[in-house]
Amino acid sequence: EAGVAQSPRYKIIEKRQSVAFWCNPISGHATLYWYQQILGQGPKLLIQFQNNGVVDDSQLPKDRFSAERLKGVDSTLKIQPAKLEDSAVYLCASSSAANLNTEAFFGQGTRLTVV
């Protein structure tokens, strides 16, 4: 079974530029999560989708971050404009349902460096 795919693996951009990350969840998984993991910290949930609808985006900095999952399958997370403090690993995860009896599977992440 293919896992959660993310691209690119690494990205370096200058501050004030824009960047986009892509995630393809495990086939059939209805729930998709984006997490931000700053160096030395645990992951922080940015946004959770159930199919193509947003369940929780309370910790998403909406002035610069946006995410979509138009067809309820793959998802894109965008940052525009980027700040130095956005340097982090962005992890995508998916699960078959939005409850804790179902395991969330994580991708390898995209490491973003803003200079």
Partner 1 sequence: AQSVTQLDSQVPVFEEAPVELRCNYSSSVSVYLFWYVQYPNQGLQLLLKYLSGSTLVKGINGFEAEFNKSQTSFHLRKPSVHISDTAEYFCAVSDQAAGNKLTFGGGTRVLVKP
Task: Write out the binding residues for partner 1, residues 75-114 only, by CB under 8 A.
Answer: 91, 93, 98-101, 103-109
Nearer of residues 110 and 114 to partner 1, judged by Cβ: 110
Task: Write out the binding residues for partner 1, residues 35-54 only, by CB under 8 A.
Answer: 40-45, 48
Of 45, 44, 68, whose CA–CA distance to 57 is shortest? 45
Distance, in Å, from the CA atom of 20 to the CA atom of 83, rounded to the nearest integer, reads 14
Burial class (CB in 10 A: 0-12, 13-18, 19+), 67: buried
Total residues in contact with partner 1, by rule CB under 8 A: 23
Which positions lie near partner 1, rule CB under 8 A?
A: 4, 40-45, 48, 55-56, 91, 93, 98-101, 103-109
